[in-house]
Amino acid sequence: MSLIIGNGCGFWGDDPTAPEKLAPYCDVLTLDYLSELSLSILAAQREKNPNLGYAKDCLDVIASLIPHWKKKKFLLVTNGGGFNPLGLAQKAKELLGDFPLKVAIVTGDDVLPFMKEGRPLFTAHAYLGAEPIAEAIRQGADLVITGRVADPSLTLGPLIAHFGWTSFDLLAQGTLAGHLIECGTQVTGGLREDWTTLPDLPLIGYPLVEVFSDGKFIITKPIGTGGKVDRLSVALQMVYEIGDPSQYLSPDVTANFLPVQLREVGPDRVEVTGAKGSPPPKTLKVSGTYRAGFFAQGQLALYGGDVKAKGEKIAETLLKKLKREGYTFDKVDVSLTGFGGIGPLTEDPKNLRETILRIAVRGDNKKGLEAFCRSFAPFVTGGPTGVTGYTNPRGDIRPLFGFCPCFIEREKVHPEVKWI
């Protein structure tokens, strides 16, 4: 007896057509939208409109899956609810109309009331575990929408519900399965040094994991898709963002990946065994955001001789003018693309005849950022020769939200399953 789980989204911004291509192969389809960056974006979104705060892209994906649900029953689990699972669930129900899917949401991750003292946080959401997802499934959910849960728990929840797992070794194996597929195509060929040599990259396949009741599982992808699943791709993803491989901390279990064995058992099929588990930590990680002022940037394209010197002079002149007007910034970043901003130069800078000047600023004074945005266009006629264009002549000033990880005692967090 096995359960096949596919992950059709590794982050907010991933290929929106991937889930519908993966759905025919799955018993369970997961969609992982939340990263630390995503939470800051959602915080800015919710400040503008308190009815938002979820991954709006998820609605298009749900709409694309309706024809597949009509052909075959499968479970969908997603953390696309972000700060507002109820809002996403209500919109999903509108999309589904009379189509009979039971929609559950998992709440309880919002712990801001417990975190305010001594911390100027705007949002605070604990990383929930797999059990509330499993409970929603046991109660008959077809679509489970969560807020902030640990990424591997999207996979572990269905496994607990299906197999009834309770032992820490099995929970560790399920957590590893979720970790391996949580980033989508990173385990099917993404980020490999030999990426350019992989087959059929335009059709790179999203990952499937076939999990057996004894905890053994196989990482694979749909037949006929591009990319590659081998020991290397699985090993690379296994050590991605884990810290100590002997103590991978999740809300569900403390997993030890050191005994893990990877074995190629066929084309694009890697068997994974051996993870060991022990009790989870007594605290839960909290993803906090805080107000960090405002951000703006602008660019100018330069061509011709001495473009490096011209770009540096433009930046100096622009910032000096704003300072005379009374505007300074908490942080300023000036970069010239092509002049060692990313890596060392491979040729004499004097031979380079084009560059993009980018200036980005951060500060609390919104009027100063508005003045900054208006300062780029005048260089088209008042700057050096070779200024060929600019972006955002009036600028795009955005509120900034910083990321603040912290912890909370587990007993203060009370997940709840609700029905829509």
Provide the CATH number for the domain around residue 335. Answer: 3.30.70.100
Q: Is residue 325 part of a domain?
A: yes
pLDDT at residue 350, rounded to an integer:
67
How many domains is the chain partitioned into structurally? 2
Name the residue among 35, 38, 33, 18 with its Cα closest to residue 80.
33
The helix or strand, by DSSP H or E, that contains position 311, with its residue range, turns out to be helix 307-324
pLDDT at residue 218, rounded to an integer:
98
Q: Is residue 9 part of a domain?
A: yes
What average pLDDT does the segment 156-175 reach? 98
Q: 318 and 246 share a domain?
A: no
How, if at all, do strands 254-256 and 276-278 pair?
Answer: antiparallel
Q: DSSP string covering 174-204, please?
A: HHHHHHHHTTGGGGTTTT-TTGGGSTTGGGB
User: pLDDT > 70: what percent of the chain?
Assistant: 95
**Per-residue tokens: 239:** 């050590």
- Number of C-beta neighbours around residue 7 at 10 A: 31
Q: What contacts 48, CB < 8 A, 6 or more positions away?
A: none
Q: What is the DSSP letter of 280?
A: P
Q: 118 and 221 share a domain?
A: yes
Q: 243 and 297 share a domain?
A: no
Helix (H, G, I), strand (E, B) or coil at 264: strand
What average pLDDT does the segment 247-273 reach? 98
Task: Give CA–CA dist 353/245, Å, rounded.
Answer: 48
Residue matched to tokens 């990946």: 257
Name the pLDDT band for 234 (thresholds 50, 70, 90): very high
Q: Is residue 420 part of a domain?
A: no
For the chain, the residue count is 420
Q: DSSP string covering 104-159, please?
A: EEEE--B-HHHH-TT---SEEEE-B-SHHHHHHHHTT-SEEEESSB-TTHHHHHHH
What average pLDDT does the segment 126-151 reach? 98
Is the pLDDT at 36 greater than 90? The verdict is no
Domain enclosing residue 189, as ranges = 2-281
Q: 129 and 258 share a domain?
A: yes
Task: Give CA–CA dist 379/387, Å, rounded.
Answer: 7
Q: Is residue 411 part of a domain?
A: no
pLDDT at residue 319, rounded to an integer:
98
What average pLDDT does the segment 99-103 reach? 94
Q: 321 and 348 share a domain?
A: yes
Is the pLDDT at 345 greater than 60? The verdict is no
Long-range contacts of range 324-331, CB-CB < 8 Å, 24 or more positions apart?
325/371, 326/368, 327/365, 327/367, 327/368, 327/371, 327/372, 328/363, 328/368, 329/361, 329/362, 329/363, 329/368, 329/369, 329/372, 330/293, 330/362, 330/363, 330/364, 331/361, 331/362, 331/363
Instruction: Specify whether the CB–CB gap between 62 and 8 falls below 8 A.
Output: no
Q: 200 and 249 share a domain?
A: yes
Q: Is residue 342 part of a domain?
A: yes
Is the pLDDT at 238 greater than 90? The verdict is yes
Strand partners, 123: 289
Lowest mean pLDDT among 63-72, 311-320, 398-407: 398-407
> At residue 376, what is the residue type?
F
Burial class (CB in 10 A: 0-12, 13-18, 19+), 70: exposed
Name the residue among 23, 21, 25, 30 with its Cα closest to residue 58.
30
Mean pLDDT (the chain, rounded): 93
Q: What contacts 103, CB < 8 A, 6 or more positions away?
A: 89, 92, 93, 96, 141, 142, 143, 145, 419, 420
Name the pLDDT band for 50 (thresholds 50, 70, 90): confident
Task: Give CA–CA dist 38/287, Å, rounded.
Answer: 11
How, if at all, do strands 269-273 and 276-278 pair?
Answer: unpaired
Name the residue among 272, 358, 274 with its Cα closest to residue 312.
358
Q: 327 and 178 share a domain?
A: no
Q: Is residue 314 part of a domain?
A: yes
Q: 220 and 352 share a domain?
A: no
Q: 297 and 272 share a domain?
A: no
Single out the residue in 213, 246, 281 at which a domain terminates.
281
Q: 249 and 327 share a domain?
A: no
Is the pLDDT at 230 greater than 70? The verdict is yes
What average pLDDT does the segment 18-28 reach? 97
Is the pLDDT at 346 greater than 60? The verdict is no
Q: 260 and 316 share a domain?
A: no
Single out the residue in 261, 281, 301 at which a domain terminates.
281
Q: 348 and 270 share a domain?
A: no
Q: Is residue 256 part of a domain?
A: yes
What average pLDDT does the segment 245-269 reach? 98
Is the pLDDT at 349 greater than 70? The verdict is no
More confident residue, 288 or 275: 275
pLDDT at residue 108, rounded to an integer:
97
Max Cα–Cα distance, the chain, nearest Å = 73
Name the pLDDT band for 12 (thresholds 50, 70, 90): very high
Task: Give CA–CA dist 320/227, Å, rounded.
Answer: 51
Single out the residue in 262, 281, 300 at which a domain terminates.
281
Q: Is residue 155 part of a domain?
A: yes
What average pLDDT does the segment 368-385 reach? 93
